[in-house]
Each structure stands twice: as C-alpha cells, then as structure tokens.
Structure 1
Amino acid sequence: MNSLRTLMATVMLLAVTGGASADGNRSLGWGSLFTNDAIGDNKDRWRSASLVVSHLRGTEWSGQRPDSFGALIEYRFRAEMITPVNVAAPRASDRLYVGALSVGAHTHFQKGATEMSLGLDLVFVGPQTKIDQLQDELHGVFASSSVNVDGFQVANAVYPTVTFEAGREFALGGAGRVRPFVELQAGAETLARVGADVTFGGFGTGALLLRDSTTGLLYTGIQGDRPTGLSFIMGGDVAYVADSKYLDTPGIAAKDMRARFRAGVHQQFQRAALFYGATYLSEEYESQPEGQIVGALSVNIQF
C-alpha cells in the first residue's frame, strides 16, 4: 500500500509540474478518439460512448520514446457513458448508470526495445459529473429516448486509478508489425490484461500511439512520418478483472474474465488522416445477455 501511495504521489507530481525539470518543455502533439455504439452495432447500451483527448509535452520527439521516466508527459481528459439497456426506464436487474469523467497524467518511456507507460487518473463518477444530463441533451438533439436515471446511478466518488503498460514491436515482413503488450490497472477497475496489436501499412510509423481504455484501439498522440495510404489495424486482448467499482451493485455479479477483439482502417492523406475502428467487447457481468460492438472515429487535419 505504501508503494502504491508513493507511485500515485510521483505521477501526480508529474501532472503538477508538467515535466518542468526538463529544459525546453513544449507541446509535442494532440490526440483524440471518439467511441459510440451507434457507429458499431447501432444499439444504445452498456459501453455507450466515450471521448478521450490527450496533450503531449516534452523537450523533443525523435521518433521513439525517451529513455527517461518523466521526460515525455501525456495529459489526458476522458468522459464516458456506461448505461443500462434502457436509459428511459431502467430495469432493476440491470447495471447502474455510470457517468465517468477523468483527468490524469501519463509518462511514456522506453527501456531497451520495451516501450512503457505509467500514469495516474482521477476518475470522478456519479451524478456529480452531470454526464447523464449531457447524454439526455444529446438524445434530444438526435430525437432519441430521454435519459431518466435518477436514483439509478453509481454513487458520487473519486477513484485514483494507476495504469501501467509494457509492449514491444516486432516486424512481420514488408509493412507488417506486431506488438504484444501487458497492462496492469488498479482503481476504478482493477485488472491484468495481455494482448497484441497487428498493423499492416504506415500507420504509427515514427509516431507515439496511445491506447483507448474502453476499446483498446490505438490513436495517435504525436505525429510521425505520416506516409500516405491505407493501413489496416487488428488486435485483441483478454483481461482478468479483480474488481470493478462500476459493477459494485447488489444483484450484479461481475465476470472475472473479459475479451476484446478490434479492427480498423486508417487513411493518411497529404494533410489529413481519418480512422475508423470497431471493437467487440465481451460481457462484463453474468446477467448481461450478450457482448456488443463499439465503433470509433478519429480525424486529424493539418493546417
């Protein structure tokens, strides 16, 4: 427990200082990814929608992660809507609504050929986030059902969440690459995950790629070589889940194993890029009748 407190304090210090110990600290890039099941299986339920925005700061980007812990910092903002099947009239047997907002800092570094990241996010959940009200307004714009989850949300709380990932990339021949990885997370959800990502094409060449926590899809944080053309991305992972504050509800039995399988296409133009991906998410609790498919979009335009 003392080591966990020390780890949290270290990463929080990085968030406050912005890597100020490094001379010439500057902005190196922005990245974002939007996910929604409406552009996946077209059903408004469970892992319904999310948006992550990342800002990267450091002294320079040479095409690979620095070997110094704290030299490259990602500031991450994330919002997510996790819903019961029916947000207008939730069933008592369904999972509670989760509106989650998180802010955090992650450092990305490299030891030998092994790429690593370590970060701390403060995850705010419950009615205090007003995410349910935002979703209700969005549903009004798109003439969808109203969101009525008063009394059917997880309680207000803040969960410090630590995430560590380590991975290594291997060439497959030609333009193919595979990157197996492991991930450990403790906080809002406590789990251990192992998986791999496979890329065919120039996507991610010389870039810093970041991982979306819901789908596992990779998105660009710092632009690299940007070779024009079409790339194909595939991946998958399995996780052992020790605890989930999102499913800590009487009558809901969380599954201790989860799986994700994902695929996407990335088109790089001369001054713009477009990515679409889809991820299958397996059931998260025993009474969940089936898995779901969540779509994801990312657009990058250079001015």
Structure 2
Amino acid sequence: MRPFFTAALILILSTLGLRADPVERSYIGYGRLIVNDSLGDFRDRWRTGSVAASHVWGPDWTGALPGRPFDILEFRVLAEVIYPLSYNAPRAGDRPYAAAWSFGMHTHFQRGGWDLATGADLVITGPQTGLPDFARALHEVLSLPKPSRAVLAGQVPNGFHAAAVVEAGRDLPLGGATLRPFVELRAGVETLARIGFDLTLGPAGQGELLVRDPVTGHRYRTITGDATGVSFVAGADIARVTDSLYLPASTNTLTDSRHRLRAGLHWQGEKWQAFYGLTWLGPEFVGQQSGQLVGAVRIKFTF
C-alpha cells in the first residue's frame, strides 16, 4: 500500500506546478527547530530527538502567500532518532531503534482562502545515516546510557524511501486570537491522515511563513516580520496511521489513532527571537505503556 499512495501523492504534487512563466526568486527565509525529550519529561525513549531546518526562496515577501504553487520553494531537512524503551536488550512488543535523514522540496501557496503546503522528500534510513554513531558519541560525552549492540542490530535497516505531504490550513480571526484548523495527508515512510487546529494569541508570527514540524506539530518561523512581543500558541491534532516504516507490522501493531497536544511561546525582540514549546505525544503502537512529553526550542540572534 505504501508505494502506491506515495507515487499517487507525488504525481498530484508534480502537476500543481505545470506552467511556463518563470518567477524571480531570492533567498528570503530560514527556520529550524530542535526537539528532544530532555527538554520535556527528561526520559530518553521513543520519539527522543530531532532537528528540522528549512531554507526558503521566493519573490519578496508581502505578508501573504502567493496564489500559485512553486513561486515559494522550501528546501527542508529533518534528522531524527527514535529509541526503544530498553537500551540494553530488545523487548518483545517494543519499537525498534530508528534513525533517518529526510531531504525535501516543498511549496506554499493559497487557493480559495486556504493556505496549502505540499512537497516530496527523500528519506534515508539506517546506520548509513551516521546518526546512530553520533547519538552514541553524544550520550558517551554526557555520561548517558547507550544502546547495546543487540538493540542497534535490530534497528530499521538501510534504505532510501520516497515520501510526500499535503497540508491545508486556514486562519480564522477569533477576537484577539487566530484559530487555524488544518488537515494533512502523508504517504511514504508513514502513511496517515491528520486533522487538527492551532491557536495563536499575540503579535509574534503574524503575517509570517511558518512551517509545521512533523514530529511535534509546532509551527516554526521561517520568514519573520518586525513586530515585537510575545505570542502564546497551542494546538492539538489526531491522526489515523495506516502504515509506518518505523513500526514494522511483523513486530508492532499500530494504535487506532495518534494524538498530539502542544503549547508554546514565541518571543520577538529587537535582535533576539526565541521559541520554547512542549508537546504530549500519545502512544503510537500497542504495548507502548504511556505517552511522552518532548520539548522544542529555537533561539535566533540578528547581528
């Protein structure tokens, strides 16, 4: 099922940009988000750590998305490490160790009052990524437990995988706040359908291009404005996952649904900007004893 849905979604995305007239682009934005459970509940397991980064090219930013796809292009990179609960020996029913790099091209535009984000990614998995070695060295420096050879031997193997995503969201004024319902479809490494919302109260992030982190659901800033102040953000979503490379059907059974609850603060000063957020991730497979709390952070200084 995974190859069929991935190929179909990538084909749909490719047809969105068929046009002859070129657009002049320049480098207009950059964003990143660091996620780790040491910033949340301080327990090292499951969705333990990731780093997302986005580089954006397009015409001069006007505060709103263009009406055509591919005027704005976002090159997105994601590095992620997923741990089982036990570091010492594989446990029956637990998820396998997984490491992945993702490299993709995405575009952002408007249609019928909806903000659309679509794109395709190449996902590289397994020890060939170098992430298991990096994580092991980092744990050694910090005097933290390291996965045993038996755990690493059962990790998600080397591979190259196609993936695609479509998200549609709409900002709705709500008094002094903004409510943003959204829907998302993913195919490839994980095939899912998701529905949720984001709530923003405050000036930071308004009129900017924000990109959704795939692990936590937080939206991080890539094209930033001049408004200073603090914005409180919150959100929730629920997903139906039909297939996951990270949770093989031979060893794991997916939960009926996957839930995320999140809250955070964007702060914008004259030269500094920062974000800190928390996300509760519900169980992803049968036998996962509980959800987990992960933290997300970003700090930027403008010279």
Q: Same fold (TM over 0.5)?
A: yes
Residue of structure 1 in register with 2:116 after alignment: 116
Given residue 169 of structure 2, which amino acid in structure 1 is its aligned partner?
A: G
Give 1:238's aligned residue. Answer: 238
The DSSP-based 3-state class of the residue aligned with 2:162 is: strand
Residue matched to 2:129: 129
Contact 1:132 1:147 (8 Å CA) reproduced: no
What does residue 165 of structure 1 align with?
Answer: 167
The equivalent of 1:150 in structure 2 is 152
What is the TM-score with the length of structure 1 in the denominator? 0.92
Match of 1:138 in 2: 138
Give 1:256 deviation, angstroms: 2.9
- Structure 1 distance, partners of 2:287, 2:105, is 35
How big is the shift at 1:205?
1.2
- What amino acid sits opposite 1:38 in the alignment? S
Distance 1:302 1:188 in 2: 36
1:54 match: 54
2:184 is aligned to: 183
> Using the alignment, how far apart are the partners of 2:183 and 2:240 within structure 1?
12
Task: Determine if contact 2:123/2:189 at 8 Å carries over to the other structure.
Answer: yes
1:296 aligns with 2:264: no
Distance of 1:279 and 1:99 partners within structure 2:
21
Q: Determine the structure 2 residue equivalent to 1:202.
A: 203
**1:39 to partner: Cα distance:** 0.6
- TM-score, structure 2 normalization: 0.92
Q: 1:65 to 1:147 in 2, by over 3 A?
A: same
| 3-state DSSP of counterpart to 2:152 | coil
> Partner residue of 1:217?
218
Change (3 A) 1:10 1:165: closer
Q: 1:209 to 1:295 in 2, by over 3 A?
A: same
Partner of 1:43: 43
Alpha-carbon distance in 1 for matches of 2:274, 2:220:
11
- Cα drift, residue 60 of structure 1: 1.8
Is residue 79 from structure 1 mapped to residue 110 from structure 2 by the alignment?
no
Q: Distance in 2 between matches of 1:41 and 1:57?
A: 36
- Structure 1 segment 2-81 matched on structure 2, within 5 A: 5=7, 8=10, 22-81=22-81
State the percentage of identical aligned residues. 42
**SS of match in other structure, 1:42:** coil
Query: Which residue identity lines up with residue 69 of structure 1 in the other structure?
Result: P
CA displacement at 1:13 relative to structure 2 = 10
User: Match of 1:266?
Assistant: 266
Q: Letter of the 1:167 partner, please give it.
A: G
Residue type of the alignment partner of 1:293: L
Check the 8 A contact 1:272/1:302 in 2, yes or no. yes
Cα–Cα, structure 1 residues 35 and 24, in superposed 2: closer, same or farther, change >3 Å?
same
Query: Are the equivalent residues in 1 in contact too, given 2:205–2:231 (CA < 8 A)?
Result: no
SS in 2 for 1:134: helix
Cα deviation digits, residues 163-189 of structure 1 (max 9, x gap): 000010011112x11000000001000
Counterpart Cα distance in 1 of 2:81 and 2:302: 30
Equivalent-residue separation in structure 2 for 1:297 and 1:70 (angstroms) = 29
Letter of the 2:106 counterpart: H
Worse-superposed segment, 82-91 or 38-47:
82-91
1:150 and 1:20 map into 2 onto residues whose CA distance is 49
Contact 2:107–2:118, Cα closer than 8 Å, also in 1: yes
> Which secondary structure does the structure 2 equivalent of 1:150 belong to?
helix
Measured in 2, the distance between the counterparts of 1:127 and 1:243 equals 22
